[in-house]
Amino acid sequence: MTKHEILAKLPYGKSFLFVDELLHVDENGAKGTFTYIENLFFYEGHFKNHPVTPAVILAETMAQIGLVCLGIYLVKDIDQDVSVAMTSNAIDFLKPVYPDEKVTVTSEKIYFRFNKLSCKVKMVNMAGELVCKGNISGMLISKENG
């Protein structure tokens, strides 16, 4: 499965897609980028006159790149349409991310068994500074049963 095929299988609409590019994916992890352009919907109210990317959006970006893209790759040989839903996360947020910043997310698979995927994830900014890190887990869900 190619990186473009994985991106095409992501179950998000344009307003909630936080993956610009998938740089690498294999059975052990994934790496991708996203740029938080200044006109994204959440900047208007978070915070007034000093927009900062909400932590929940940073976590979602890490989940989409590091967990969902990897999960889609791992089940590429299964003959049914599946998605990955985040079930838990433990993330440390270390630096803010402002509008027009590009980040890179890297994940490393911890385990994948019984339809549960767990990954160690990290996000760095363009200066190579660690923005946030932690663990994210999710369940594979058949879209036919969802």
Question: What residues contact 116, with CB distance under 8 A and at least 6 apart?
Answer: 87, 137, 138, 139, 140
pTM, 2 dp: 0.93
Domain containing 22 equals 3-142
The number of domains in the chain is 1
The CATH number of whichever domain residue 114 belongs to comes to 3.10.129.10
Of residues 82 and 119, the one with the higher pLDDT is 119
* pLDDT tens sequence across 65-88: 999 999 999 988 776 677 788 899
With left for phi above 0 and alpha for psi between -120 and 50, is residue 65 left, alpha or beta?
A: alpha
Among 69, 61, 66, CA closest to 97: 61
* pLDDT tens sequence across 8-36: 999 899 999 999 999 999 999 999 999 99
Whole-angstrom CA distances from 135 to 2, 18, 92, 112, 126 are 25, 18, 9, 13, 22
pLDDT value at 108 more than 70: yes
Q: Read off the DSSP letter of residue 47.
A: S
Q: What is residue 62's predicted lDDT score, i.e. its pLDDT?
A: 98
